[in-house]
Chains A and B, each alone.
Chain A
Amino acid sequence: MNPQFLIDGLLTGSMIGLGAIGVTLTYSILRFSNFAHGDLMAWGTYATLLIVGAITALFGKVAPFSPLSFGWPLMLALALAMVVTGGLALLLDRILFSRLRAKGQMIIVVMASFGASMALRNMLEFLFTSRPAYFSRAIQIAMPVGFGLRITPDQIALLILTAVLVTLVHLIMTRSRIGREMRAVSQNPALARVAGIDVARVVRFTWLIGGALACVAGVMIGVLVQIRPLMGFDMLLPIFAAAILGGIGSVPGAVLGGLIIGLSEAAAVQIVGAEWRAAVAFLILMAVLFIRPIGLFGVKER
């Protein structure tokens, strides 16, 4: 077996893991599965693409940071698009989810997220067509890094970015005031209010983080693969499988779940063939639901 599957798996796993953090947070705080999360990834990516385009129009072509395929315009665009995507998530909650949530039937909110997913996706196809787009057409040379592994500079940069973001989110959740408040709301929303926590603020913050990370995951796919309106939706199954495998509500769990699924997918491609890739997440999801529904780091529902 070619050890290169490790690198592929790590990269796919990072994308899945970043997406799964958003899903697991929305689930643990708002108690619903947001099926529009994948489409937030795609929106974030197209927003980044547009902002990069605007920067290029303003400042002309900017040379990439060699040996990377991208320069500061993509980094700045990503930072801005993270805010935009967080804002889009907030907007969705404001005009759709929060109103339905007030009625108290979570299944309706889940269905609404299906609808939102479809609408967001179709809007992208309408605006950008379903033809793939790219941040850069440059071909990167993969460098050998020992053990027969090869990795491109872009891949290294994005793995580092993932590690930094995941650590940051984990620190926020465990050490900061808003993180404690998020955990409190997820464990007992009524008591959280009694303890003086502004639940609406916690909900807003959750959408912001989830949206921002979705944007990063999308841009990662955009840089390493390609940009398509369906790019996020296609990731939905592995993302949910990762969130459930890791244990709903657990940020480290979501990331670990993502890595396990990414690595399993990459291994399966080598062992049984690429056409089986999509089945891996499904099989893992089923196995978790049957054997340990609370996932790796999950805890029993109260």
Chain B
Amino acid sequence: MTRTVLSVTDLVAGYEPGVPIVRGASLTVREGEIVVVLGPNGAGKSSFIKAIAGLVPIFSGTVMLDDEEITKVPAHQLVRRGLAFVPQTENIFPLMSVEDNLKVAGGMLDRRDMTGRIEEMYGLFPDLRDKRRIAAGNLSGGQRQMVAVARALMVRPKLLVLDEPSAGLSPKFVSMVFHMLADIRKAGVTILLVEQNAKAALAIGDRACVLVEGRNAHEGRADALWDDPVVAELYLGRRHAAGPSASDKPMPEAQP
């Protein structure tokens, strides 16, 4: 039985006291998995993962990271414990160089480790190496997303949490982002992903849950969810058809 990396139980969270946005959501993520959170706009998906990342006040429920309770741990300490979060928007420091974006996230690494880790990031995202001195805000949308993900990976997280990493990108970059996530998982990082692009997300995901009005409405294996006619019609914006065939999958072949 694989280890549970993240387990969220009956989470209630919101921005103002007495106004819960997340109303009892639960979730488990096991080591090596990609788990996808789907749901209609305004369902509270972003609020849900922001609460996990310590950015939205939690009213009740628990969040466990690797058997340690992190429900009340402030956001900046979660990084140290292995949880890295990539917000949907404003996820880079636009006026800082690409390299400083990485350095500032690696504050707790020692100097040699930092240099090595930055090199590893340039290995993972070769585009960024050429742009290392350029202000991150001047990059293209896809490259900014690479900076955001590289920044999160700097501290070797156990769990990478991403909020709609493909939103607002052109189709070419969307497929690049999903390739990138598949690669990151292969490198041993567990991933929790909120997505609007249900098809692509379910194609790389192992399991998924559908959040509606701040609660789990459906959950299960990614392919089963895709094949579920009710879920498909209600939340995935698709009349029931064939599941994602191998050719649909944006999963990359192993890359050398």
Using CB atoms and an 8 Å cutoff, list the residues of chain A in contact with chain B.
177, 180-181, 183-184, 187-188, 190-199, 299, 302
Given contacts A193-B54, A195-B151, contact A183 B95 (CB under 8 A): yes
**Complex CA–CA separation, A199 to B100 (angstroms):** 17
Q: Is B74 an interface residue (CB 8 A)?
A: yes
User: Could you tell me if A188 and B75 are in contact, using CB atoms closer than 8 angstroms?
Assistant: no
A193-B75, A198-B76 as given contacts; A187 in contact with B95, CB under 8 Å:
yes
Given A180-B96, A180-B100, A196-B80: A191 in contact with B74 (beta carbons within 8 A) = no
Instruction: Indicate if the CB atoms of A196 and B155 lie closer than 8 Å.
Output: yes
Q: Which of B84-92, B185-193, B205-213 contacts A (4 or more CB under 8 A)?
A: B84-92
With a cutoff of 8 Å between Cβ atoms, the chain A residues found around residue B55 in the complex are 190, 193-194
Interface residues on B, range: 20 to 34
Task: Report the bound CA distance from A206 to B22 in whole Å.
Answer: 36
B residues 175-189 near A (Cβ < 8 Å) are none
A194 touches B93 (CB 8 A): no
User: How far does the Cβ of A205 sit from chain B's closest Cβ, in whole Å?
Assistant: 13
Interchain Cβ contacts within 8 Å, total number:
68
Using a CB–CB cutoff of 8 Å, the interface residues on chain B facing chain A are 53-55, 74-77, 79-80, 85, 87, 90-96, 100, 103-105, 107-108, 151, 155
B75 near A184: Cβ-Cβ < 8 Å = no
Q: Are B94 and A180 in contact (CB under 8 A)?
A: no
B104 A197 Cβ-Cβ under 8 A:
yes
Given contact pairs A193-B76, A194-B76, a sample of 11 additional A-B residue pairs in the complex whose CB atoms are under 8 Å apart: A177-B107, A183-B95, A187-B94, A187-B96, A191-B92, A193-B55, A193-B75, A194-B85, A195-B79, A196-B76, A197-B107
| A188 in contact with B103 given A194-B53, A194-B55, A196-B80 (CB within 8 Å) | no
Cβ-closest 5 pairs across A and B: A196-B79, A193-B75, A195-B105, A180-B104, A193-B76
A-B contact pairs, 23 of them (CB 8 A): A177-B103, A180-B107, A181-B104, A183-B96, A184-B104, A187-B95, A188-B93, A190-B55, A191-B87, A191-B91, A191-B93, A193-B54, A194-B55, A195-B104, A195-B151, A196-B77, A196-B105, A196-B108, A196-B155, A197-B107, A198-B76, A299-B95, A302-B90
Max chain A CB contacts within 10 Å: which of B76, B77, B91? B76
**Main SS class of interface, A:** helix
Among A188, A193, A196, the most chain B Cβ lie within 10 Å of the Cβ of A196
A194 to B79 alpha-carbon distance, docked (Å)? 7
- Chain B residues with Cβ below 8 Å from A192 are 76, 104
Contact of B76 among A177, A183, A197, A302 (CB under 8 A): A197
